[in-house]
Structure 1
């Protein structure tokens, strides 16, 4: 911002136009034209009162007055030009977060916001469409909806998004944020209003994981919304049926929104069918304009077959092959949130949230087999439960001319038992525990943090944001049953870590709506349960690994130099130290060690332009937006205990990831064509191929480009048609690989449906 927010408000309140481009102190630049006007107004008024009024009935009195008053003098015209700063701020908020977002400071942190209402409805959680405007986030696609895989800038394998912090309304979506940070549940996109991406400084703002934070913001009923009911029903290829239903109201002091969703798909392979159910409830109470109390309830239930992974050779021969026809996954996640915000009279603001989450992950897994081979003799039923509790309390103090100070704390506790049974019934039910117990671990996690940030507004439109965060982690594993093939004793381990984090951001506003930003900040990845006690190997004791830490540098510029154009381009450098790896002593004996360091550097850019913004079409609500964002990445190992590893490229670090598209939207139509293009990438850190013959996997995932078409057509006020085609070019590709094979991505699929609002 050019000046502190309070300066702007003062100037507008007192009728001051804004003078830009001067090197005067901000307040003096604002007051100077105002003082000039106050000097001119009395003179102008005086001249007007002494001028003859032809409509005056008292002609003689008028003449006598003219005779006794001095002759009016016409002064030279003074033209005062002012730019409304608010239009630039509003334009930037279409693409990035506010500089001070409630009780959070995001200025100097690189942020991107995708407003989902500005694009067609996303059906079936097509994450490439959802994140098409989100630069740099790599989606590793898994057709079954019980795992979600994201990675960013080459930091860590995307398996279950373990190196990315994914949140909903500022609350972690992971199973256990600290001990088991994996993503098995994802809300239906129809229930979200926007997706926020926060890079440098994200760990100081929210906590563990190196970078970034992906925060999913839930929809809320707009103020003044009458009682409204909407039902959306869609059908499509592969037995797709999607239904999403909403009832909401926001009038007076009370607001509520309830939704229920259901998605069914047969999939493209045998044992690939899935069902997803979701229920959300929001209840908000405004006792006055300064307070809000709310309750959020989220419930997600997924069940899906697991057709198994394929070797590259099997994928080439028949990508519909199923190698695990009896395996199955169940996910249930329930969350209850109590929240409160309060704006106090002395420029203090409070935001507090308490939450409880219960998540249960159950899977039935037998060894892989090819058609014609004998069936496996046993299967393993695995049950991981996560009971987690948390509190997030933040305060903000606005002070001076646009300065803001924030302080807060986060407390978290997890109780997460882990059990396995062996059964000869390949279709054993999820709650049938009659098999032979092979593993039982009681696991707990504790986390606490205290943090503070301040944005200082300085002369010459400079702002500085120092940040500090103190973290404490404790995880424990107490084992009572271990797999019979292991010779180690039962595990009883506890590990504690204290981590201080620091950050500094500097920015400068220039011109009209432009800003430079620089941020350097620390981040970290917590030790997981598996890091201190692997349940499936003879972990050699006494080798607790050091924490994995990151230092992220980012410098860039963004803004809206002209109406309709937004740009954001930055260079980044991330050092990730103490990468944690499992090192095998022999077939089943392992040790957890810090095997190496990586460096990720590159350029990330975003360009959005509305071709109608400066035309008469804009007044009619017409928008024709084109966008392109790109991440150019150079990631390498800079240190390692593994011979020959230095200089190699980490897994899932494509040199380029480009997303582009065009959207036409108005009051009746939203039509969008988007594309995601990734260069080739290694799927394991060794950068080497794996296996031979039927088990062969090449070293690299081939490059791919996927194009999607989606549309919403508002026929009447109550009726809306939906239609789209995913993977328009029917690209034959994959981008998800694990040690036991790859997962084919969907080919071309279509959908169509209708939405009714009453």
Structure 2
């Protein structure tokens, strides 16, 4: 696998040299008519569509050719963090307030990030959304365990990008979309600049963020250190986060750049547990798991190289490696509990992404590249005869029976290998048409070798290895018309690789002879829309979408086998269609496009009709879980550069089923004596947030805000064991100083 996968990388570099050499030779070859006496300097005239780099639409969407990424004909959205008030305590409702369609399933403790899009998949840990930082995946294991336990501080982010449909052709799995955060760059005009921010707030919250950066000659740098503490709204809901980021860059000349980046993150948080509905109604601050705890560490080191072979050809390559450790402590279900299980998920990963872009002809561009990835992910559990085992309290002795304690309950060695090659080209035709064909070929290998299994299971040890080769194709068409308007149409394939749990769940009791071997989930996305900035101050984007999801993977009871004997199979297909629109009108920019003051009203709306078109579980015609009929965000924002930023935003989410059966369910919480139920639907809710930055001096600003202004009692998340209440009204106040 590794030998085969390296070939595309060599091919990409070879193509880069082939494309660069002819272009350079053509530009430097003297004309037959030139003479030494009167030869004039040669001027190359190329069409780069400068309006694409300057139009106001770039405050809302990505460039048509963004470095080595071709995004024209793909629906994109961006949020520039300098245009919104400071996001404090990782309030992602504020960060995503102007991001259409992205559903954020909230929880009080910061140990997980739960995102979903257009009703595709459970939002739990964002398993069906690719989340990246500077094009590098944030998932614990990008292929085998695509979950999000860490998220960068908003203060270190300059821009949030959301790419729909064709994102699978740009970045690979998972199913669309991709959320890509762009890190802030070092200050370019001086050797030393700094920023420090300190805030306090509800529930004992304290946060500090400190950063220095600068540029000196060929070198630039940026470093930050941050810490956040919160006691939580519920007992055992406390958290402690600390981290640091480092960037060092070197530019030997105008044609090359080297960057080294390190991101370090450590989180220690309690888990107050989930509630049944009766408990939520009676007291949403109840704690059902007072002994549970989660520890997460993540360290990623990356090297970036950008090389301009000539004015038209650029190579961008990223090499990264890292380590993540997810450890947790879970109390047993006794009444009262007396023991606990310690679990440890470790991930050691490395990847390479190399992309070449070549601009040619009249505004055309060709990209080609490769991505390689490897991960080792051992998974282990230990049972402990105490409620307070620490993170590293572990025994090497396997458990021998259900009453055995202080022993190893589970051990699995797991690994993934992934490789892809891809190519796209944007062809431009008069008058103002563009066509973008795309192709991507991917290969995954997932391997599990189990040496210890839970003694309660009668199955054999898991020893599985599966490989899938998946070709993906896409086509985009668009047309510029009128004054700064553009239509776009895109049809793209995507897929979700099989995970470790899909081919060998450690908790399933597979009958003898049965093999977990489901096909990967495949996605086909269609989207057609129009966007533009036809008049000063106005941006709009409206589209219709249709997404077919084939071969969902679920666990089913094996017919004729003893109860509890399950197998993971492809259970059916779903269809997701609807409308997604966005509008932003800046009243002050409408009067003066060059103003430094902005008063804008923004709104975005996603309307979704999703249903099972086929299901062997009897769900045909029903709505998939977490598919709200509407998701709406509205707000008003005022900004005056270096003086004041204010924003009021409101998010409203329709009621939605939390399981595919569309039925309520009995739930046994951590204490069996308090057994209740969860209604079939998560109720609709509307939440308002207000935040602001006020510069009292040119270098000093006051920060403040209130989240959940109306103190709405709600929940957005239901997962294994009950519902998780949303946060009530909270506030923060603080100050920032920059130099």
TM-score greater than 0.5 by the shorter chain: yes
1:406 & 1:354 partners in 2: Cα distance? 19
How far has the Cα of 1:509 moved from its partner? 0.5
Equivalent position of 1:478 in the other structure: 449
Equivalent position of 2:486 in the other structure: 515
Equivalent position of 1:649 in the other structure: 623
How far has the Cα of 1:253 moved from its partner? 1.4
How far has the Cα of 1:346 moved from its partner? 6.1
- Asked if the contact 1:338–1:354 (Cα under 8 Å) also holds between the matched residues in 2, the reply is yes
- Asked if the contact 1:88–1:513 (Cα under 8 Å) also holds between the matched residues in 2, the reply is no
Equivalent position of 2:612 in the other structure: 637
- DSSP 3-state at the match of 1:612: helix
**1:714 matched to 2:702:** no
Render the CA deviation track for 1:310-364: whole Å, top value 9, x for unaligned.
Answer: 0011000111111110000000000000000011126211000000010000000
Compared with structure 1, are the counterparts of its residues 85 and 299 closer, same or farther at alpha carbon in structure 2 (3 Å cutoff)? closer
Equivalent position of 1:412 in the other structure: 373
Structure 2 residue corresponding to 1:146, chosen from 111, 131, 142:
111
- Asked if the contact 2:76–2:162 (Cα under 8 Å) also holds between the matched residues in 1, the reply is yes
How far has the Cα of 1:757 moved from its partner? 1.7
Superposed, 1:63-462 pairs within 5 Å as 86=51, 89-345=54-310, 347-368=312-333, 374-434=335-395, 435-462=406-433
Structure 2 residue corresponding to 1:582, chosen from 513, 531, 555:
555
Compared with structure 1, are the counterparts of its residues 247 and 517 closer, same or farther at alpha carbon in structure 2 (3 Å cutoff)? same
Equivalent position of 1:544 in the other structure: 517
**1:742 matched to 2:723:** yes
- Asked if the contact 1:631–1:658 (Cα under 8 Å) also holds between the matched residues in 2, the reply is yes
How far has the Cα of 1:595 moved from its partner? 0.7
1:718 & 1:694 partners in 2: Cα distance? 56
How far has the Cα of 1:543 moved from its partner? 4.1
User: TM-score with structure 1 length normalisation?
Assistant: 0.87
Moved more, 549-558 or 583-592: 583-592
CA RMSD of aligned residues (A): 1.3
**1:754 matched to 2:715:** no
- Asked if the contact 2:332–2:338 (Cα under 8 Å) also holds between the matched residues in 1, the reply is no
1:90 & 1:284 partners in 2: Cα distance? 30
**1:604 matched to 2:585:** no
* Structure 2 residues without counterparts, runs of 5 or longer: 1-48, 396-405, 668-673
- Asked if the contact 2:214–2:221 (Cα under 8 Å) also holds between the matched residues in 1, the reply is yes
How far has the Cα of 1:300 moved from its partner? 1.0
- Asked if the contact 2:536–2:591 (Cα under 8 Å) also holds between the matched residues in 1, the reply is no
2:359 & 2:604 partners in 1: Cα distance? 34
- Asked if the contact 1:88–1:560 (Cα under 8 Å) also holds between the matched residues in 2, the reply is no
1:367 & 1:311 partners in 2: Cα distance? 18
2:546 & 2:620 partners in 1: Cα distance? 18
- Asked if the contact 1:324–1:368 (Cα under 8 Å) also holds between the matched residues in 2, the reply is no
Superposed, 1:5-20 pairs within 5 Å as none
Render the CA deviation track for 1:130-184: whole Å, top value 9, x for unaligned.
Answer: 0011100000001111101000001000000000000000010000000000001
1:423 & 1:148 partners in 2: Cα distance? 29
How far has the Cα of 1:121 moved from its partner? 0.3
How far has the Cα of 1:229 moved from its partner? 1.9
1:139 & 1:152 partners in 2: Cα distance? 9
Compared with structure 1, are the counterparts of its residues 144 and 368 closer, same or farther at alpha carbon in structure 2 (3 Å cutoff)? farther
2:172 & 2:247 partners in 1: Cα distance? 26
- DSSP 3-state at the match of 2:90: coil
- Asked if the contact 2:508–2:567 (Cα under 8 Å) also holds between the matched residues in 1, the reply is no
Equivalent position of 1:679 in the other structure: 654
- Asked if the contact 2:372–2:418 (Cα under 8 Å) also holds between the matched residues in 1, the reply is yes
- DSSP 3-state at the match of 2:59: coil
Equivalent position of 1:506 in the other structure: 477
Compared with structure 1, are the counterparts of its residues 131 and 444 closer, same or farther at alpha carbon in structure 2 (3 Å cutoff)? same
1:478 & 1:196 partners in 2: Cα distance? 38
Render the CA deviation track for 1:68-89: whole Å, top value 9, x for unaligned.
Answer: xxxxxxxxxxxxxxxx973884
Render the CA deviation track for 1:63-119: whole Å, top value 9, x for unaligned.
Answer: xxxxxxxxxxxxxxxxxxxxx973884301110000001111010000001001100
1:317 & 1:608 partners in 2: Cα distance? 41
Compared with structure 1, are the counterparts of its residues 342 and 376 closer, same or farther at alpha carbon in structure 2 (3 Å cutoff)? same
How far has the Cα of 1:366 moved from its partner? 1.2
User: TM-score with structure 2 length normalisation?
Assistant: 0.89
Compared with structure 1, are the counterparts of its residues 109 and 620 closer, same or farther at alpha carbon in structure 2 (3 Å cutoff)? closer
- DSSP 3-state at the match of 1:538: coil
Equivalent position of 2:545 in the other structure: 572
Q: How many residues align?
A: 669
2:50 & 2:125 partners in 1: Cα distance? 43
Render the CA deviation track for 1:567-589: whole Å, top value 9, x for unaligned.
Answer: 00000000000000111235431
- Asked if the contact 2:715–2:723 (Cα under 8 Å) also holds between the matched residues in 1, the reply is yes
1:725 & 1:688 partners in 2: Cα distance? 36
- Asked if the contact 1:308–1:368 (Cα under 8 Å) also holds between the matched residues in 2, the reply is no
1:87 & 1:482 partners in 2: Cα distance? 57
Structure 2 residue corresponding to 1:704, chosen from 668, 674, 685:
685
- Asked if the contact 1:89–1:513 (Cα under 8 Å) also holds between the matched residues in 2, the reply is no
Equivalent position of 2:22 in the other structure: none
Compared with structure 1, are the counterparts of its residues 165 and 88 closer, same or farther at alpha carbon in structure 2 (3 Å cutoff)? closer
Compared with structure 1, are the counterparts of its residues 722 and 347 closer, same or farther at alpha carbon in structure 2 (3 Å cutoff)? same
State the structure with more CA Rg: 1
2:682 & 2:329 partners in 1: Cα distance? 28
- DSSP 3-state at the match of 1:695: strand
Runs (4+) off by over 4 Å: none
Equivalent position of 1:76 in the other structure: none
How far has the Cα of 1:614 moved from its partner? 2.7
Equivalent position of 1:563 in the other structure: 536
- DSSP 3-state at the match of 1:660: strand
2:441 & 2:152 partners in 1: Cα distance? 31
- DSSP 3-state at the match of 2:203: coil
Render the CA deviation track for 1:1-52: whole Å, top value 9, x for unaligned.
Answer: xxxxxxxxxxxxxxxxxxxxxxxxxxxxxxxxxxxxxxxxxxxxxxxxxxxx
- Asked if the contact 1:168–1:216 (Cα under 8 Å) also holds between the matched residues in 2, the reply is yes
Superposed, 1:29-40 pairs within 5 Å as none
- DSSP 3-state at the match of 1:493: strand
2:78 & 2:489 partners in 1: Cα distance? 19
Equivalent position of 1:496 in the other structure: 467
How far has the Cα of 1:459 moved from its partner? 1.3
